Structure 1
Amino acid sequence: MTISKKRSPLRVAGLAIVWLIVAADIALLIWIFLTSLRDTKDIFARPFALPTSAELGNYANAWGEGGFGAAALSSVLLAVVSSIAAVAISAPAAYMLARRRTRTSNSITMLFAMGLGVPGQVLLVPLFVAMASVGLVDTYTGLNLIYIGLALPFTVYLLTGFFAGVPLVLEEAAAIDGASGVRAFVRVILPVARGGLITAFLLHFIGSWNETLFAIAFMQSDDKVTLPVALVNFVKMQQFNGLDWGTMFAGMCIILAPMVALFAWMGSRIIQGMTVGIGK
């Protein structure tokens, strides 16, 4: 029975489609990297050919003249700070919601889940007006606050599942040893739920790294833009002088490289963490 299911035509077709998509994605990434090593004239002459010589100057131009170097520092700062803050705020809230299974806590959990369905475009104008009124437009603090707020619904919902799976006997043992509730949470519960915390951090880091809408609206200084915005600005700057395609593809590689490395290193942990956390 099991063998027939494994060899069913539907399963084979599904696996074939999945591997086809994976192969297409890998081929696209390889093409972007190879194109970043070519000059504009060669790209237009032979779009899918291999580079005859490595134009490493494209990366130097992208990092310096293209503004991707300063943008990379901004992206790292925003992604790291907002991810740490979001997890630090969400963890205690998720823990209390997981442990206090009452009608009120269940309703609050559902409110966080409903927050996942609110599109960011709806919040753009109200947030801009609010941030402008307190002078937080074009500041790292303002954009960090927005990223943290947008991350809270999903992060709390994800971590609630992780904390629900932590055995209650661990807290009882800590209480017997004289540990307070806060100390038991910090010294016992957080280390046990470390996988969930890392997963939540990585997911928010990826989202902040790739976020474009709020970064374009709130960061108006050239020295504060993030990498996706730097790519948009580079294309706009080059459209009147003739786009330097090699430098543009080099900038795309600068944006993609950390994410590709992160998924190659921690991809299985991210998928496992999402499955365990949301499944509970």
Structure 2
Amino acid sequence: MTRLSSEVLSRTSALGNLPATKSARKPRAFRSRTTGWFGHVVSPLIWFTAAFNVLLFLWVVLQSFRNGSEIFTKPFVLPRTINFDNYVSALTVGQLGSGFLNTILICVTATVTIVALAALAGQALSRTKYRAASPVTSIFVVGMGIPVQAVLVPIFVLMQTISSTMYSVFGWWDERISVYIVYVATGLPFAVFLLSGFFRSLPTEVEEAAAIDGAGPLRTFLSVMLPMARPGIITAFILTLLGLWNETLIALVFITDTDKYTLPVSLLGLYGTMQYTSNWGGLFAGVVIVTLPILIVYLVLGRRIVEGMTLGAGK
């Protein structure tokens, strides 16, 4: 954190020490009834669902080390040896290796672009005094409710026009660029909605203190607001990356070259190949390859998601 942000935050740290108002406190009887109902009904259901999903994923990992016959004859027996031939087959025959690189290239760059644009838009929409701010925010909210399937055909026609123009002007165009543009366009509404609410929950006194110190709007945003909005930015980054990592339809429609497939599309092709060769162990290995990276990211940064969502609901 920069010197400016440290000075500004030190001036406004006293705001966090104010006692909670009586209206913010819930009655003790209401809290006890809610806790008791939640603890006896909802909490066991959540734990059961979580345990079922964990056991299901562990079972998939177990099957990824078996051959085709053992999967059906001994589905719940531990394998005698750890054999990574299925993973090698999935990476080579199913081209999951190139799909993994393409997914990282497209999804990470699209996610960084979405979060960067959403942070700028969220700061502007949450602090502007113009009447147009509310309708613009509503437009982003409406964009969240429009399914991609409903606008896929016009988007495809538009991207075909753009690619044809680029071919005629520069003689080159990559299908992954089309997917990147569509990912940014479809992922931006949710990120803007999330970050605008988070920036709105931040105290305005911090920006006023930065202005008194002589900081301009850009420096205030980069040095003060971004460090304070780190939990919300991390939350938007993880949720956007999760959605793009598992996306299949857009990549399947726009990418025709097998060397440029993303992981979900490569897994779909692997399923078509393995069902004829009966190498179901390779298919399970492909599922693990697709699922494990994003699962690790969620386990490492999952607490940040909860923190960002709760802090962003302050106002």
Structure 1 range deviating more: 151-160 or 175-184:
175-184
1:128 to 121, 138, 156: 156
Q: Residue 49 in 1 paired to residue 77 in 2?
A: yes
Q: Mind listing any 5+ residue stretches in structure 1 that lack a counterpart?
A: none
Structure 1: how far apart are the matches of 2:305 and 2:87?
30
Q: Could you say which residue in structure 1 is the equivalent of 2:25? A: none
Q: Could you say which residue in structure 1 is the equivalent of 2:36? A: 7
Task: Decide whether the 8 Å contact of 1:98 with 1:163 is kept in 2.
Answer: yes
Task: Decide whether the 8 Å contact of 2:64 with 2:283 is kept in 1.
Answer: yes
Letter of the structure 1 residue corresponding to residue 75 of structure 2: P
Q: Residue 110 in 1 paired to residue 138 in 2?
A: yes
**Cα shift readout 1:217-275 (whole Å, capped 9, x = no counterpart):** 01111111011101111111233x33311111011000111121112111121123233
2:224 to 188, 200, 204: 188
1:249 to 276, 284, 303: 284
Task: Decide whether the 8 Å contact of 2:235 with 2:305 is kept in 1.
Answer: yes
Structure 1: how far apart are the matches of 2:227 and 2:177?
29
Letter of the structure 2 residue corresponding to residue 132 of structure 1: Q
Structure 1: how far apart are the matches of 2:35 and 2:305?
26
Structure 1: how far apart are the matches of 2:233 and 2:32?
38
Q: Under a length normalisation based on structure 1, what TM-score does the superposition of the two structures give? A: 0.93
Structure 2: how far apart are the matches of 1:267 and 1:42?
35
| RMSD over equivalenced CA pairs, Å | 1.8
**Cα shift readout 1:63-122 (whole Å, capped 9, x = no counterpart):** 122201000000111111000100111111111110024432112111111111100101
- Secondary structure in 1 matching 2:293: helix
- 223 and 279 in structure 1: CA distance in 2 versus 1, 3 angstrom threshold: farther
Task: Decide whether the 8 Å contact of 2:274 with 2:280 is kept in 1.
Answer: no
Structure 1: how far apart are the matches of 2:138 and 2:35?
37
How much has 1:138 moved relative to structure 2? 5.7
1:222 to 255, 258, 283: 258
Q: Could you say which residue in structure 1 is the equivalent of 2:214? A: 178
- 251 and 81 in structure 1: CA distance in 2 versus 1, 3 angstrom threshold: same
Task: Decide whether the 8 Å contact of 1:71 with 1:226 is kept in 2.
Answer: yes
Structure 1 range deviating more: 203-212 or 52-61:
52-61
- Secondary structure in 2 matching 1:84: helix
Q: Mind listing any 5+ residue stretches in structure 2 that lack a counterpart?
A: 1-28, 165-172
Q: Could you say which residue in structure 2 is the equivalent of 1:166? A: 202
Within a 5 Å distance, the mapping from 1:2-151 to structure 2 comes to 2-3=31-32, 5-8=34-37, 11-135=39-163, 139-151=175-187
How much has 1:153 moved relative to structure 2? 0.7
How much has 1:3 moved relative to structure 2? 4.6
- Percent identity, please: 38
Letter of the structure 1 residue corresponding to residue 35 of structure 2: K
Structure 1: how far apart are the matches of 2:32 and 2:210?
48
Q: Could you say which residue in structure 2 is the equivalent of 1:235? A: 271
Q: Could you say which residue in structure 2 is the equivalent of 1:197? A: 233
Letter of the structure 2 residue corresponding to residue 275 of structure 1: T
How much has 1:56 moved relative to structure 2? 1.1
Task: Decide whether the 8 Å contact of 1:138 with 1:218 is kept in 2.
Answer: no
Task: Decide whether the 8 Å contact of 2:140 with 2:193 is kept in 1.
Answer: yes
Q: Under a length normalisation based on structure 2, what TM-score does the superposition of the two structures give? A: 0.83
- 113 and 36 in structure 1: CA distance in 2 versus 1, 3 angstrom threshold: same
Larger CA Rg, structure 1 vs 2: 2
Structure 1 range deviating more: 38-47 or 222-231:
38-47
Q: Could you say which residue in structure 1 is the equivalent of 2:310? A: 275
Q: Could you say which residue in structure 1 is the equivalent of 2:170? A: none
Task: Decide whether the 8 Å contact of 1:98 with 1:164 is kept in 2.
Answer: yes
Structure 1: how far apart are the matches of 2:130 and 2:311?
22
- Secondary structure in 2 matching 1:134: helix
Task: Tell me which stretches of 4 or more aligned residues in structure 1 moved more than 4 Å.
Answer: 2-5
- Secondary structure in 1 matching 2:146: coil
Aligned residues: 278
